[in-house]
């Protein structure tokens, strides 16, 4: 009991139950919480208070950067640094530069999507308190977990436990998560 408490975690068998529990918890004023599931559940992120992700913007900026860098580099090479007349074409024979520009756009955008997603998600993140719960292994198999964190201003060890154990949630078990 001397270990610092990370939060209280309720386990569910069913995606609908966790969705209901998360929405009720948010309505009850809890803000610092997260849900864990073996598959994406639509509406669950919104239910725990997630509003929006900037990832699409990151990818757009990545793609535009790739497009600009790809074309500008070819222009610089073909017009400024190493001008050679090929097939009687003008130095800035831009139609021939389109394929490489396109590939650079896709490459930069795809790299931004993957590394942007990992960065915004804070991954890699090898240690996390939720892994201390033995039953959490099933979060990657068939169970759903809702964790209300101790840093939530409304968090209270006993009240929050009572809240999560409410009959209507059908939680199978409520566990303390230690840091």
Partner 1 sequence: MSDEHKPVPASEGENPFIGGEHTYATVTDKIAAIALARRTSKGWVLGFLFSFALMQLLLVAVGYLLYKGVGIWGINAPVYWGWAIINFVWWIGIGHAGTLISAILLLVRQEWRTSINRFAEAMTLFAVSCAGLYPLLHVGRQWFGYWLLPLPNTMRIWPQFRSPLIWDVFAVSTYATVSLLFWFVGLIPDLATLRDRAKVKFAKTMYGIFAMGWRGSAKHWYRYETAYLLLAGLATPLVVSVHTVVSFDFAVGIVPGWHTTIFPPYFVAGAIYSGFAMVLTLTIPIRAIYGLQDFITDRHLDAMAKVMLATGLVVAYGYMMEIFMAWYGGHPYDMYMVLNRMRGPYAPGYWALIACNIVIPQLLWSSRVRANAVFLWVLSLVINVGMWLERFIIVVTSLHRDFLPSSWGMYYPTKWDVMTFLGSIGLFLTLLFLFVRLLPVISIAEMRGMVSSPTDKEGGHH
Q: How far is the CB of 163 from partner 1 (least distance, A)?
A: 19
Q: How far, in Å, CA of 37 to CA of 7, rounded?
A: 17
User: What are 90-98's contacts with CB under 8 Å, separation 24+?
Assistant: 97/70, 97/71
Q: Where are the alpha helices (DSSP H) in 90-156?
A: 94-120
Q: Which of the ranges 2-10, 23-31, 104-112, 157-165 carries the binding residues for partner 1, by CB under 8 A?
A: 104-112
Decide: is 123 part of the binding site for partner 1 (CB under 8 A).
yes
What CA–CA distance (Å, rounded) separates 75 from 84? 12
Residues 12-41 that bind partner 1 (CB under 8 A): 13-16, 22, 34-41
Of 114, 123, 113, 100, nearest to 61 by C-alpha is 113
Q: Which residues bind partner 1 (CB under 8 A)?
A: 13-16, 22, 34-41, 44-45, 47-48, 50, 53, 55-56, 59, 63, 73-74, 77-78, 81-82, 84, 86-87, 89, 93, 96-97, 99-100, 102-104, 106-107, 109-111, 113-114, 116-118, 120-121, 123-128, 130-131, 136-142
């Amino acid at each position: 009991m001397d270990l610092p408490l990370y939060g209280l975690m309720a386990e569910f068998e069913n995606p609908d139950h966790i969705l209901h529990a998360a929405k009720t918890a948010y309505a009850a004023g809890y803000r610092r919480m997260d849900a864990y599931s073996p598959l994406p559940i639509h509406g669950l992120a919104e239910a725990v208070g997630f509003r929006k992700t900037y990832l699409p913007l990151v990818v757009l900026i990545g793609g535009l950067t790739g497009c600009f860098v790809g074309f500008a580099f070819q222009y610089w090479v073909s017009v400024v640094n190493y001008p050679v007349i090929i097939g009687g074409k003008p130095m800035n024979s831009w139609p021939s530069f389109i394929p490489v520009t396109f590939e650079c756009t896709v490459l930069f955008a795809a790299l931004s999507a993957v590394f942007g997603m990992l960065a915004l998600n804070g991954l890699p993140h090898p240690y996390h308190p939720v892994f201390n719960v033995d039953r959490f292994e099933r979060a990657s198999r068939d169970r759903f977990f809702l964790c209300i964190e101790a840093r939530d201003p409304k968090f209270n060890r006993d009240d929050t436990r009572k809240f999560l154990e409410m009959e209507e949630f059908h939680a199978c078990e409520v566990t303390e998560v230690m840091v």
